Amino acid sequence: MTMKVKPMGPIPPGFHSEQGMLLIGGRGAAALVDETGETPLFAYDAGMIRARIAALREAMPRGVDLHYAMKANPFPPLLALMAGLVDGFDIASSGELSLALGAHVAGGRISFAGPGKQDRELEAAIAAGVAINLESEGEAARALAIGQRLGVRPRLAVRVNPDFELKGSGMRMGGGARPFGVDAGRAAALARHVIAQGALWRGWHIFAGSQSLDAEAIIAAQSQTVALAARLSEEVGASPPLVNLGGGFGVPYFPGDMPLDIGLIGTALGETLESRPAILAESRFALELGRYLVAEAGVYLTRVVDVKISHGERFAVVDGGLHHQLAASGNFGTVVRRNYPLAIANRFDGPICAEPLTVVGCLCTPLDRLGDSLALPPVEPGDLVAVFLAGAYGASASPSAFLGHAPAMELLVED
């Protein structure tokens, strides 16, 4: 029986091989595994991250700060790299705060967003001089009280739940009833209140969505964001030191996905900022990005344990799975399962086998499928499977305790 091949997403540009072996940061995948001693391994190419950020800065208008949303990848050596490459870090918990401070990011370069911040988290952040992106009036009251107790003026911004959404984004975070931020209609009143209470006013945080590959949609959202920030600032009667424009820049994961045109976005943002209302004349602007900066630089390497046939279908069973790389299994925010790009790392450009291959993880659940009916070279136990787009929402966003397997190794690869 001949099975039908299913397409997979594009392998990110910049990956190639030497004598059939996939190179990551100029080093062979098998050598990296030998170095760390084990599979599965997340390998992150530092040079690729540097190049990505340099290209982004080149495309964006001067004076737009770049913030790293470290939820995308909090691996400490990667954070230390990012600390020297971006202007600010966005954290979502006190655990992330500790990691950011551990990477020598000064508190003044950190902002803290996320609903459900606990008092002890607010306290640690305020004491460290972190800007709090307030998610509600209740959170504002707690932050002000904690500032008073600590004898410091808390640095406060208001996260706004905008009246619009980032169209076509993988995760919508504005435009309607949301747990994130304060509805635009009440944001100015809250800002006036925290300023009157003596807080250090930091400005607005407006995050409309994430994982968009539609430049026009991002351009429209950014222009609406600047207009909203200006309108709210007029209502408050104060210029915001910073307008965090959110992010939403996506990466191509799936068949047919095309890379985002950041040149187009940068040009349009430049025009939007040039014609901004006077109340924003002295404001700084920031983009808050996670996956766009790091996703494509990461590869998840997992070893084939078994190759088997069932009802004519070929399966490679690997020593990793959804417990490390949940997103590739289709169980992290996707409705329909589609294939991430995969390769056999040690036969990177080998001839394709006539029969498609399904790559499954070692977990005893049908959900643990890393690649479905792929056109790949022949495989045997011991081969290394590379799952691309593993630099964001991989190791830290997967249920690593599920079924008691060991966590994956991680490695930042410097050229």
Ligand X SMILES: Cc1ncc(COP(=O)(O)O)c(C=O)c1O
Work out how close the CB of 131 gets to ligand X at its nearest, in angstroms, rounded to a whole number.
13
Among positions 155, 202, 276, 291, the unique one binding ligand X when judged by CB under 6 A: 291
Residue list 30-69, contact with ligand X (CB under 6 A): 69
Q: Would you count residue 292 as binding ligand X (CB under 6 A)?
A: yes
Nearer Cβ to ligand X (253/348): 253
Stretch that binds ligand X, among 182-190, 230-238, 288-296, 304-312 (CB under 6 A): 288-296
- Tokens 């397409």 locate to 7
Distance CA 368, CA 355 (A): 21
Work out how close the CB of 156 gets to ligand X at its nearest, in angstroms, rounded to a whole number.
16
Q: Would you count residue 385 as binding ligand X (CB under 6 A)?
A: no
Stretch that binds ligand X, among 256-264, 282-290, 321-329, 335-343 (CB under 6 A): 282-290
CA distances from 368 to 331, 335, 398 (A): 9, 16, 12
Q: Would you count residue 72 as binding ligand X (CB under 6 A)?
A: yes
Q: Which residue has the CB atom at the shortest distance from ligand X?
A: 290
Work out how close the CB of 116 gets to ligand X at its nearest, in angstroms, rounded to a whole number.
13
Residue 53: CB partners within 8 Å, gap ≥ 6?
A: 66, 85, 86, 293
HSE-CB of 367 using CA atoms within 13 angstroms: 12
Q: Would you count residue 296 as binding ligand X (CB under 6 A)?
A: no
Work out how close the CB of 292 gets to ligand X at its nearest, in angstroms, rounded to a whole number.
6
Work out how close the CB of 307 gets to ligand X at its nearest, in angstroms, rounded to a whole number.
35
Stretch that binds ligand X, among 2-10, 205-213, 265-273, 357-365 (CB under 6 A): 205-213
CA dihedral 224, 227, 232, 234 (to 10 degrees): -170
Nearer Cβ to ligand X (146/392): 392
Q: Would you count residue 361 as binding ligand X (CB under 6 A)?
A: no
Which pairing describes strands 182-183 and 155-161: parallel, antiparallel, or unpaired?
parallel
Among positions 60, 99, 113, 265, the unique one binding ligand X when judged by CB under 6 A: 113
Rg (CA), the chain: 23
Nearer Cβ to ligand X (88/290): 290
Among positions 42, 89, 207, 348, the unique one binding ligand X when judged by CB under 6 A: 207
Distance CA 177, CA 353 (A): 50
Distance CA 47, CA 413 (A): 8
Residue 189: CB partners within 8 Å, gap ≥ 6?
A: none
Distance CA 4, CA 282 (A): 58
Torsion over CA: 304, 308, 311, 312 (sign): positive
Nearer Cβ to ligand X (244/339): 244
Among positions 247, 320, 330, 356, the unique one binding ligand X when judged by CB under 6 A: 247
Stretch that binds ligand X, among 33-41, 206-214, 260-268, 306-314 (CB under 6 A): 206-214
Contact 356, 340 (CB under 8 A): no
Distance CA 132, CA 172 (A): 22
Q: Would you count residue 289 as binding ligand X (CB under 6 A)?
A: yes
- Tokens 């991002």 locate to 218
End-to-end C-alpha distance for the chain, whole angstroms? 46
Contact 232, 160 (CB under 8 A): yes
Work out how close the CB of 101 gets to ligand X at its nearest, in angstroms, rounded to a whole number.
19
Work out how close the CB of 376 gets to ligand X at its nearest, in angstroms, rounded to a whole number.
28
Nearer Cβ to ligand X (134/344): 134
Distance CA 213, CA 276 (A): 25
Q: Would you count residue 319 as binding ligand X (CB under 6 A)?
A: no
**DSSP per-residue string spanning 15-29:** --EETTEEEETTEEH
Work out how close the CB of 82 gets to ligand X at its nearest, in angstroms, rounded to a whole number.
13
Give the count of residues interacting with ligand X (CB under 6 A).
Answer: 16
Q: Would you count residue 290 as binding ligand X (CB under 6 A)?
A: yes
HSE-CB of 275 using CA atoms within 13 angstroms: 7
Q: Would you count residue 383 as binding ligand X (CB under 6 A)?
A: no
Stretch that binds ligand X, among 235-243, 289-297, 327-335, 366-374 (CB under 6 A): 289-297
Work out how close the CB of 233 gets to ligand X at its nearest, in angstroms, rounded to a whole number.
20
**Residue 41 has which token pair?**
């391994």
Distance CA 308, CA 315 (A): 5
Nearer Cβ to ligand X (10/391): 391
Provide the binding-site residues for ligand X, judged by CB under 6 A.
Answer: 69, 72, 90, 113, 171, 173, 207, 210-211, 247, 288-292, 392
